[in-house]
Amino acid sequence: MGQALRAPEPLITGMRMDRDEFMRRWELLPELKNAELIEGTVFVASPVSADHGAYDFALHTWLGAYESATPGVQGGANATVHMRDSSPQPDSFLAILPECGGSARLQDEYFAGAPELIAEVSASSYSHDHGPKAALYQVSGVLEYITADTHSKRLIWRVLTRGSYREIQPDPDGVLRSRTFPGLWLDPRAFWKRDKAAVMSLLRRGLRSPEHKAFVAKLARRKSRTA
């Protein structure tokens, strides 16, 4: 008789392991879609609520439109990123391509390093996103970290300053503006109202700004120097 197949070893929230073991187990569990390793501890996501999914999709749409208008920038959603000895799975991110001066790059099938901007929707994952994940992103050099808390309807936009995160506030016109990605503008009031037309209209204004034009030109110059 043939030898019985061994059941794949599980991934359970709170388990301690290194990244190689985490990835080995995950690859044996094709039905598992969302799991993270943060500083040696496994986190497996809870079921995603409709509210979480709606705001997650809004962030994807907003960041995807910025990427489409900004050569030299790459976006991603729910992709595993090897960062230090951890493997988080951010909801969304924007990264400057390595040939344009960015720090994240592809390593085998996964991103490695720190994307310049990460965005997370926080619902059941609030303590995780604001605790272990925020600490990991800070020490790894993620320049901007956005969390959208669906319970309090609060959007926190952190900027890395001298090694620590500080929250930036909207400008007098109520708009939050990225320091790393010129032209990436967001009105948090429109975001929480799910007014997609207003969110995208404001982004288009940002993409027409002189700052965005200068940023695209800077990325092109960096790319030409590394060609």
The domain locations on the chain are 52-226
Instruction: Band the pLDDT of 1: cuts 50, 70, 90.
Output: very low
Residues 27-74: tens digit of each pLDDT:
887 777 788 888 888 888 777 788 888 999 999 999 999 999 999 999
Say if residue 85's pLDDT is above 80: yes
Query: 34 with 45: CB under 8 angstroms?
Result: yes
Determine the Cα angle at 19 with ends 13 and 22, to 5°. Answer: 45
What's the fold here for domain 52-226?
A: tt1808, chain A (3.90.1570)
Alpha-carbon gap, residue 143 to 161, rounded angstroms: 8
- The neighbouring-strand residues paired with 41 are 16, 38
**Which pLDDT score is estimated for 128?**
56
Separation of CA 197 from chain center: 23
Alpha-carbon gap, residue 142 to 164, rounded angstroms: 10
Stated length of the chain? 227
Q: Count Cα atoms within 13 angstroms, Cβ side, for 226.
A: 13
Query: 18 with 12: CB under 8 angstroms?
Result: no
Determine the Cα angle at 174 with ends 128 and 150, to 5°. Answer: 30
Q: Which residue has the higher pLDDT, 13 or 221?
A: 221
**Which pLDDT score is estimated for 3?**
44
Say if residue 121's pLDDT is above 60: yes
Say if residue 179's pLDDT is above 70: yes
**Which pLDDT score is estimated for 38?**
86
Residues 123-142: tens digit of each pLDDT:
755 555 567 889 999 999 99
Round the average pLDDT of the chain to a whole number and report it.
89
Q: Count Cα atoms within 13 angstroms, Cβ side, for 46.
A: 10
For residue 213, give every residue at least 6 positions away whose Cβ sits within 8 Å of its Cβ, in sequence order, or none: none
Say if residue 8's pLDDT is above 80: no
